[in-house]
Structure 1
Amino acid sequence: MTAELVRGQNHPLSQARLEIRVSAGKPVVAGATLSDEHGKVQGVEWVAHPGSPTLPGIEVSKQAAADHRLACDLDALPETVHRVSVLLALPTGVGGPVRFGAVAAPFVAVTGLDGSEVASYTVTGLDAESAVVALELYRRQGAWKVRAVGQGYAGGLAELLTDQGLPQARQLAGSINEAVVQGLARSVAAPPPRAADGDRSRHAATPALGQDQGGSTSPGAPGQVSPQHGHPGGQGPIASGAGPGAPQAAYPTASAPADPSAVTHPAGAGGPVNYSHPGRQAAAPPPPPPTAPPARPGQPAQPVAGDATGWSMEERLYNQVWGMFEDLARSTAAYRSAVDFAESRMEQELDKALSDPRARIGGQGDAAREAARAKHAELVDRAREALDRDLAQLTAEAEVVEPALPPAFARWDNPAWHGYRVPMEIPMAVRLGDLHLPESAGLSIPMLVRLPLERGLWIDSGRTGSFEGSIADSDDLRRLAMDTAVAHAARLLAVYPAGEYTVHVIDAAGSAASSLAPLVSTGVLAAPPAVGAAGVNEVLARLTQRVDLVQMAIRGGAADSLPSDLDPAEQLLIVNDFPHGFDDRAVTQLRYLADEGPAVGVHLMLVADREDAAAYGPLLDPLWRSLLRLTPVPDDHLADPWVGHTWTYDPSRVPPGSQVLQHVLTQVATARRSWNR
């Protein structure tokens, strides 16, 4: 029976190998400290954190996430360790909440390897604190217990670690935050939370939830699955309970603003700068969402494109894609957890069988080993069956959703581009590629990024850790990287209304002429690509001045006083072969644009090899961390914000020999000329 602890309460632990699961709703840092019988942490080597996630007997997550699973083996801890403290902290310097009082109360559960919950604790009563000791596992008279602590610290991790007697607390807290920021720079950002009534509902049917799947609690309760997120009949990746350890926290998906065409920026007393087209009308009320055809008895309901909740078909498709992404992440997490449990159980049974010398000599030991392996195979097969069932349903849904996507969400080979016309409204998001997991190589989920872009893009032109990146020629990689950048720029130009997106290019060495040909020949660029040091400085000075002017107008409440020749459109700067042609001043200006530009409509797209910039040392590290890294070849470098899976990113490529890019850019150029008249 599960013990629901309150602050200060303890509970005995009968198992040595445990999992500690954290559900926070927002990305948090999870760590652990080991301390002696006096409660003192002896040194930094006694702290498990994202930068150093593994210690004897304890392993924590490598990055900030909303859902964590910490592994603990009490028997493997050193004899001098008498206490394991589980720490939670809000990441700093990444734009998220800075105090626990502004987020949902974290939920922490101690479970066995079979997923059975031993004790749980909801960390309530926090306000200004940004770090907290959630619970502790402690040794008392040869036995281990768990205690709910809930001790918060307004001074963050530095204050918490200092309180535990660590001399290097401040330095370690800084290195932990550095590791977390680097991890977040590699992650796929979660969509912003939707309104309270915007929970994603795939179908009209309510999933049949078991006792451990949230059926007796309200949706969104800590540690429970929200019924709105499952598939009908309990057959979806969440409701199926594919194996022990399935993540059970509910996370919201995204919603669009009522008028996505109104691009506003942070404002002072004078209000926002509104870039919406003056001639547009308000959107009409949405049509009712489509309904699925009735399912045959015993069969899951047929998938329908746009069956998620939303104000418009575009929003419903957006929410449906994100729901598929979440479902695949959690279904795979359940499968991996079930496989881990099966392997752990087999190891325990084999150890038990071999612990008796008599069993090792006779045939009894061989029979025990065979039985353990057979049980392992049975558990893995059952987990794979559940995963395959979920993948089959998600694949069927993807086959329905993909053809229905609008151009902003569609692949370049989608027929939606054949009848492309320049839109009158800014879409919610844009597709920058696809994502898949090793267990589901045949199923890809569109990678949709909200507009306007909140982070710049870094297209990696160097060798990556992937197989494709390691075998490709370096010159081919550079060409592919620039081709990828041009394809992304063309898509951004295509999804914005006429005159509301402007692209600038810096090609200091003039080495990207062939890749840039579609942009240059159609005339969609604001000016010819800038070359040489003089061209670099001129473009950077112009965009830096634009950022300064808009910022001053906003802060001074004088948005109407901007110069008449200032282009109010969103600006994109593509830099090829960075940092070639950049001196220290130009690098500083680029960092300024990366930090301050997105808030006032100036965005970066760097095509660069990180190794080429090594001469600048740590000067460029903040710039790299502020950008979303994409690759011109498939690469597994992105992580999701829920369970931290490593996803393989597939770039969005134009089919060989296709004229779709030329067709789309010609339409954009024609619409721009008409708009300028």
Structure 2
Amino acid sequence: MTAELVRGQNHPLPEVRLEIRVSAGTPVVAGATLGDEDGRVHGVEWVAHPGAPTLPGLEVSKQAAADHRLAVDLEALSPSVHRVTVLLALPPGTGGPVRFGAVATPFVAVTGLDGTEVASYTITGLDAESAVVALELYRRQGAWKVRAVGQGYAGGLAELLTDQGLPEARQLAGSIHEAVAQGLARSVAAPPPRLPDAGRPRQTASPTPGSDQTHGTTPQGVSGNASSAQGPQTTSPYGTSGYGASGARDAARPDHLSDQHGGPTPADPPTGTPPASPTAGGPVNYTHPGRQTTAPPPPPPTAHPAQPGQPAQPVAGDATGWSMDERLYNQVWGMFEDLARTTAAYRSAVDFAESRMEQELDKVLSDPRSRIGGQGDAAREAARAKHAELVDQARAALDRDLAQLRAEADVVEPALPTAYASWDNPVWHGYRVPMEIPMALRLGDLHLPESEDVRIPMLVRLPLERGLWIDSGPSGSHDLAADSDELRGVALDTAVAIAARLLAVYPPGDFGVHVIDPAGAGASALAPLVQAGVLAGPPAAGAAGVSDVLGRLTQRVDLVQMAVRGGAADSLPPGFDTAEQLLIVNDFPHGFDDRAVTQLRYLADEGPAVGVHLMMVADRQDAAAYGPLLDPLWRLLLRLTPTPDNHLADPWVGHAWTYEPSRVPPGSRVLQQVLTQVADARRSWNR
């Protein structure tokens, strides 16, 4: 499986004979430097470039080209070589672009000799730079790895080589450019222009997104423990790290989010074109290989084209899709990707700056000469100044991208349909009962600590492929210092709001809701559902009520499973209700015995496949007495919190996302109005 790297990530290399493939939208110079154990390049004879393309174990192209293949044999390298750094540069004086921000985002891939891709990296975040360190292959404890670097240099190749420690850097840069100029007649032409973002799909959440750092979902599904992972790659008109002249929308897919108890979340396939492996001389398709569908027609053109040197003005629905709802859905996940990737780039840049400063300070301390006079103080001050400069540059890039995301959110949020909209969106005041199921449902919002004011809707695909656990205890809240009764009330309010959304987005008669409230503790919060008459029956109370509802729903799952497996779906009993069903369980585990818990586990595991969904309102600590009996149930469900909490993790980039539920505004009657329309439509449908 290909590792799609983000800046700073590394990946082991399973082979020693490799190719490094480069694809860009314009001719670029490709070269490589060799470094010792400390990363030091000893001289020009340690640099492979168009004027001297071959070194032991390494061969690069002799000319500028839009596509390159660099050959590397790690076993043939000198034993003193511990690092191979791959560099790219724009050739000067050719009438072409002079900065990477004006060209398509470069793409590099490490492959085996058979073309099997090991790791890839889309170099985002470039603007005024005309040279960049793309990748480095390095030896660590006898094993070779590849790291995505993406360090750009506005001073071009000379500045890059100087930073590599070559005293004759400017002379070498000049000789490289001279060799390129002599070979330009043989230079490989740029490939056909890549389609603009409007012609390519944005990937939809991998997210959708949610799971906490032990369980999960993204904008459709977050996953297990937060860890570094490789995200899908797509391109965007907004540029670097999501925005700019030619950057890429290529970040963590929310459909792979997971919460703290470690269960997977439903994958959210996007719409788009099938992936294509990068090949020499052809365009690179950045679509994630796991997302294969037919290409929908392009969206309408942007209403406000970008001025030269300025990012494009965002427009609602500028992603691909067959309908406006699908385009908005894809655009939301494009925004999720952008926020994930630009934040990952910022964090990686800060880590790089800190690592560089530590190395320079260690070097100063290890040199006895630096302890004499003021040399050591000057070196330390220079290292700290460079660190501050790099961090400031990274923050400036992040702020630029966040500003564009805010602008996009400002136009997208008001355009969302009811299923995707927050409760305070005016679209709910014009609500009408739909005649078909939408693609997805909004469960809340996601944001990151670096961007508190940039909120991404958390969308999950419909029908639900996984039940929900609404945490009603202190473990599910970082913000409330309230007692347990208040937390339970807020959790049940959240569950009621989600249930109302589900009822509102399904056609009449296509969705039923059951409630178990053993002690009647949730009567106040459940009142909107009861008073509107949208429940399948009164909330079940007492041991008998719990047993009756669970028995009927487990029997329903058994019947449908047998009919489906036997290929005789028409053999269901006469009058069998084929609508999807949601069971809300309040105040768990009070009033539940071992048999009831086993039935709940069965519904959580088998129910979604046959249209029976479970929503638990419970406190993990209260339920701990069940021990291992409860763990499978806990892991099968997607955990949500009634108050903001950073429990959702995406394995693509490794962020811990803060989830915030979508609340009905205080004093608003929108919930009652929507439920009233749902009830009226259901009565009309039953006549």
Relative to the length of structure 2, the TM-score reads 0.64
Equivalent in 318, 341, 345 of residue 330 of structure 1: 341
Would you identify which runs of 4 or more consecutive aligned residues in structure 1 move more than 4 Å? 2-6, 10-13, 181-184, 189-192, 222-226, 237-242, 246-253, 285-288
Q: In the TM superposition, what is the alpha-carbon distance from 1:341 to its structure 2 partner?
A: 0.3
Q: Give the match for residue 218 of structure 2.
A: 188
Q: Check conservation: 1:182, 1:625, Cα contact below 8 A.
A: no
Q: Check conservation: 1:287, 1:312, Cα contact below 8 A.
A: no
Q: Check conservation: 2:245, 2:311, Cα contact below 8 A.
A: no
**Judging changes above 3 Å, is the alpha-carbon distance between structure 1 residues 558 and 465 closer, same or farther for their aligned structure 2 residues?**
closer
Q: How does 1:170-209 map to 2 (within 5 A)?
A: 185-188=215-218
Counterparts of 1:421 and 1:231, CA distance in 2: 35
**Judging changes above 3 Å, is the alpha-carbon distance between structure 1 residues 335 and 555 closer, same or farther for their aligned structure 2 residues?**
same
Correspondence 1:533 to 2:533: no
Q: Check conservation: 2:213, 2:656, Cα contact below 8 A.
A: no
**Judging changes above 3 Å, is the alpha-carbon distance between structure 1 residues 522 and 620 closer, same or farther for their aligned structure 2 residues?**
same
Q: In the TM superposition, what is the alpha-carbon distance from 1:225 to its structure 2 partner?
A: 7.9
**Judging changes above 3 Å, is the alpha-carbon distance between structure 1 residues 670 and 396 closer, same or farther for their aligned structure 2 residues?**
same
SS in structure 1 of the partner of residue 460 of structure 2 = strand
SS in structure 1 of the partner of residue 445 of structure 2 = strand
Q: Give the match for residue 56 of structure 2.
A: none
Q: Give the match for residue 520 of structure 1.
A: 530
Counterparts of 1:4 and 1:476, CA distance in 2: 50
> Which has more radius of gyration?
2
The one-letter code sitting in structure 2 at the alignment partner of 1:186 is: G
Cα deviation code 1:512-537 (max 9, x no counterpart): 01100100011000100000010000
Cα deviation code 1:98-142 (max 9, x no counterpart): xxxxxx96624799xx9752339xxxxxxxxxxxxxxxx675xxx
Counterparts of 2:116 and 2:617, CA distance in 1: 41
Q: Percent identity of the aligned residues?
A: 72
SS in structure 1 of the partner of residue 370 of structure 2 = helix
SS in structure 2 of the partner of residue 547 of structure 1 = helix
Q: In the TM superposition, what is the alpha-carbon distance from 1:664 to its structure 2 partner?
A: 0.4
Counterparts of 2:671 and 2:254, CA distance in 1: 40
**Judging changes above 3 Å, is the alpha-carbon distance between structure 1 residues 109 and 535 closer, same or farther for their aligned structure 2 residues?**
same
Equivalent in 377, 386, 408 of residue 397 of structure 1: 408
Counterparts of 1:567 and 1:397, CA distance in 2: 43
Report how many residues are paired. Answer: 476
Correspondence 1:545 to 2:555: yes
Q: Check conservation: 2:219, 2:446, Cα contact below 8 A.
A: no
Equivalent in 367, 382, 387 of residue 393 of structure 2: 382
Cα deviation code 1:154-185 (max 9, x no counterpart): xxxxxxxxxxxxxxxxxxxxxxxxxxx99672
Q: Check conservation: 1:424, 1:497, Cα contact below 8 A.
A: yes
SS in structure 2 of the partner of residue 455 of structure 1 = coil
Q: Give the match for residue 255 of structure 1.
A: 270
Correspondence 1:640 to 2:638: no
Cα deviation code 1:269-288 (max 9, x no counterpart): xxxxxxxxxxxxxxxx9895
**Judging changes above 3 Å, is the alpha-carbon distance between structure 1 residues 479 and 333 closer, same or farther for their aligned structure 2 residues?**
same
SS in structure 1 of the partner of residue 576 of structure 2 = coil
SS in structure 2 of the partner of residue 298 of structure 1 = coil
Cα deviation code 1:375-422 (max 9, x no counterpart): 101000000111111111111000000000000000000000001010
**Judging changes above 3 Å, is the alpha-carbon distance between structure 1 residues 145 and 551 closer, same or farther for their aligned structure 2 residues?**
closer
Q: Give the match for residue 119 of structure 1.
A: 137
Cα deviation code 1:559-583 (max 9, x no counterpart): 1111123211110000001111111
**Judging changes above 3 Å, is the alpha-carbon distance between structure 1 residues 337 and 458 closer, same or farther for their aligned structure 2 residues?**
same
Correspondence 1:612 to 2:610: no
Q: Give the match for residue 278 of structure 2.
A: none
**Judging changes above 3 Å, is the alpha-carbon distance between structure 1 residues 188 and 358 closer, same or farther for their aligned structure 2 residues?**
same
Q: In the TM superposition, what is the alpha-carbon distance from 1:300 to its structure 2 partner?
A: 1.2
The one-letter code sitting in structure 2 at the alignment partner of 1:426 is: I
SS in structure 2 of the partner of residue 464 of structure 1 = helix
Q: Give the match for residue 176 of structure 2.
A: none
Correspondence 1:464 to 2:475: yes
The one-letter code sitting in structure 2 at the alignment partner of 1:389 is: R
Q: Give the match for residue 144 of structure 2.
A: 146
Relative to the length of structure 1, the TM-score reads 0.65
The one-letter code sitting in structure 1 at the alignment partner of 2:644 is: P
Correspondence 1:583 to 2:601: no
Counterparts of 1:445 and 1:248, CA distance in 2: 13
Q: In the TM superposition, what is the alpha-carbon distance from 1:620 to its structure 2 partner?
A: 1.0
The one-letter code sitting in structure 1 at the alignment partner of 2:218 is: V
CA RMSD of aligned residues (A): 3.6
Counterparts of 2:220 and 2:118, CA distance in 1: 20
Equivalent in 320, 330, 340 of residue 331 of structure 2: 320
**Judging changes above 3 Å, is the alpha-carbon distance between structure 1 residues 239 and 461 closer, same or farther for their aligned structure 2 residues?**
farther
Q: In the TM superposition, what is the alpha-carbon distance from 1:555 to its structure 2 partner?
A: 1.2
Q: Which runs of no fewer than 5 residues in structure 1 stay unpaired? A: 18-103, 121-136, 149-180, 193-221, 258-284
Q: Give the match for residue 488 of structure 1.
A: 498
Counterparts of 1:609 and 1:596, CA distance in 2: 23
**Judging changes above 3 Å, is the alpha-carbon distance between structure 1 residues 115 and 527 closer, same or farther for their aligned structure 2 residues?**
farther
**Judging changes above 3 Å, is the alpha-carbon distance between structure 1 residues 501 and 330 closer, same or farther for their aligned structure 2 residues?**
same
Q: Give the match for residue 453 of structure 2.
A: 442
